[in-house]
Amino acid sequence: MASNRINRINEEIQKELSQLLRKVKDPRVQDTMISITRVETTPDLRYAKVYVSFLQEERARDAMAGLKSAGGFLRRELGRGLQLRYAPELVWSLDDSIAYGARMLKLIDSLGVEQDETDPE
């Protein structure tokens, strides 16, 4: 039962942070397309590991520095938005699963195997 609560909190933190990223005034964050892919919160709700993905991979390092710099603001606003006893400390982590998937798709396409369009499988 507690895991359901943690999952709901993770989803709420993800939604709230997605909205709060628009309010960050750091140009490293504003000028980059950032997607929060998932959030994992510790059972005591003290820490939240936030997995982020970037559309422009060349800006990822600067954007991560901007997110870490804006961490205090985001934590404070997250605490105001969610009714939790403690606002979790945000730990930012780069999620490269989207880039990895795109790279694998490109490799598969480069094999040149043709698929039969009439085959339902």
pTM of the model: 0.78
**Contact (CB, 8 A) for 29 and 71:** no
What pLDDT sits at residue 1? 45
HEC-encoded secondary structure of 2-53: HHHHHHHHHHHHHHHHHHHHHHCCCHHHHCCCEEEEEEEECCCCCEEEEEEE
Q: What is the pLDDT of residues 9-66, one digit of tens each?
A: 999 999 999 999 999 998 888 888 889 999 999 999 899 999 999 888 888 899 999 9
Per-chain mean pLDDT for the chain? 87
Domains with residue ranges and CATH for the chain = 2-109 (3.30.300.20)
Instruction: Quote the percentage of the chain above a pLDDT of 90.
Output: 48
Residue 5 CB coordination number (10 Å): 12
Instruction: Report pLDDT digits (tens) over 56-102.
Output: 888 889 999 999 999 999 999 999 988 888 899 999 999 887 778 88
